[in-house]
Amino acid sequence: MDNPVRQSADSQDSGILVPQIAQSFRQLPISLIVNLAIGLILAAVLWNAVPTPVLLTWSGLLIAVTGARFLTLQAFRNAAPRSESDLASWTKYFLAGACAAGVVWGLSGMLLFDPGSFPHQVVLAFVLGGMMAGAVPLLSPVSHAYWCFAIPIVVPISIRMMWMGDRIHLVMGLMMVIFGLAMLATSVQVQRLFRDSEKLRRELFSVIEVEQALEYLVRLDSLTGIPNRRLFEEELSKEWARTKRNHAPFSLIMADIDHFKEYNDHYGHPAGDLCLVEVAQAMHHALSRPGDVVARIGGEEFAFLLPQTDLSGAISVAEQIRERILALNLPHEASPVASHVTLSFGVSSSELTSVSSAGELIRTSDIALYEAKRCGRNQIVAARKTASVVVA
């Protein structure tokens, strides 16, 4: 039976390496151009040293493989894969391209090797070594890609060198083997570096997400799920500054559930909590604009922030909310106002001459709410220019 812990680790590593496939595809154009350019330069250098049909055949193979990899790159860009499963399906194409390129360059170590010209042999060995070194950052992130590219290159040229039999060629062949092994070891280290970097990036991203979630949660009321007083104060300060800057109206509604203490005494605190939740959610869904905010700022007290809303508009919003709460038809037998839950509202606006600060906006709304309670509750009272109040 497979070890579930091992399976989970393998799945995680696969998910970590998938972004590197996309990164490798993005870096592929430069590699293709360099591969083709170096191949053509090598062919030009060896033009008189290698039989023309052999040289043309090898050059044609290089061009064909490079063209196929370019078409694969274009298909990848057009597909624009986003999910891990889609990206993973492109790994085989990337690996196939790397293997094909490795085989073509490996063939150059056999077909383009000129036994009679030591300088040409050195040039060929230098080019192949450079190809292996240059491919490390591009191919290492994708598992097995570099090995698939490098081994077909290093083996033929090493064998061809050693096949010559003399000491200098034996040393050169051995050096190619050592260099190839060093490049493979470097590739493993680079792959580990990419993997660790991606793990770190994901862990950091996860931590940031958790912090953002916690930061969001501390601004929500744990009972009702709507914003709490902390968020209310932050949004009030921000919207007030925007209002002063843009000279736009900004209104505040303070609301209170009528005789909520009597509700708790009559029905019990668990029922009172359910009542708060239903009222709060009804208020939340009553707001239609993204910038509008309702927050629970006390036990049964709520506040509405209405940016770019004048006093008359805020009164209309308050009336819609009052009617929505009435439509809930939550029984309240202990209320002297009505047989169901009702709310009182106090409305104020930045338009008022008496309102010169966010604190004044709160104060005038509180005064209006107090007046609504004094006048019998279940009604809306709006502050006026002289800071007096009137029943709306």
* pLDDT, averaged in runs of 10, over the chain (392 residues): 40 51 79 89 88 91 92 84 68 88 91 88 90 86 86 91 88 91 88 78 74 72 90 92 91 96 94 95 91 93 95 94 94 94 96 90 94 93 62 40
Report the alpha-carbon angle 227-229-232, nearest 5. 70
Q: Are strands 389-391 and 301-307 parallel, antiparallel or unpaired?
A: unpaired
Question: Is residue 45 situated within a structural domain?
Answer: yes
Catalytic residue among 235, 239, 300, 371: 300
CATH code: domain of residue 372: 3.30.70.270
Q: In 3-state terms, what secondary structure has residue 333?
A: coil
Q: Is 371 a catalytic residue?
A: no
Q: Give the integer Cα–Cα distance in Å for 76 and 70.
A: 10
pLDDT tens by residue, 232-289 = 999 999 999 999 998 899 999 999 999 999 999 999 999 999 999 999 999 999 998 8
Dihedral sign for Cα 148, 153, 154, 156, please: positive
Identify which of 127, 96, 124 has the alpha carbon closest to the alpha carbon of residue 110: 124
Structure tokens at 47: 């033009």
Question: Is residue 224 situated within a structural domain?
Answer: no
Question: Is residue 216 situated within a structural domain?
Answer: no
Same structural domain for residues 194 and 267? no
Q: Give the integer Cα–Cα distance in Å for 290 and 167.
A: 80
Could you tell me the end-to-end alpha-carbon distance of the chain, in angstroms, rounded to an integer?
74
Same structural domain for residues 189 and 104? yes
Question: Is residue 222 situated within a structural domain?
Answer: no
Domain extent, residue 265, equals 229-391
pLDDT tens by residue, 107-122 = 998 899 888 888 888 9
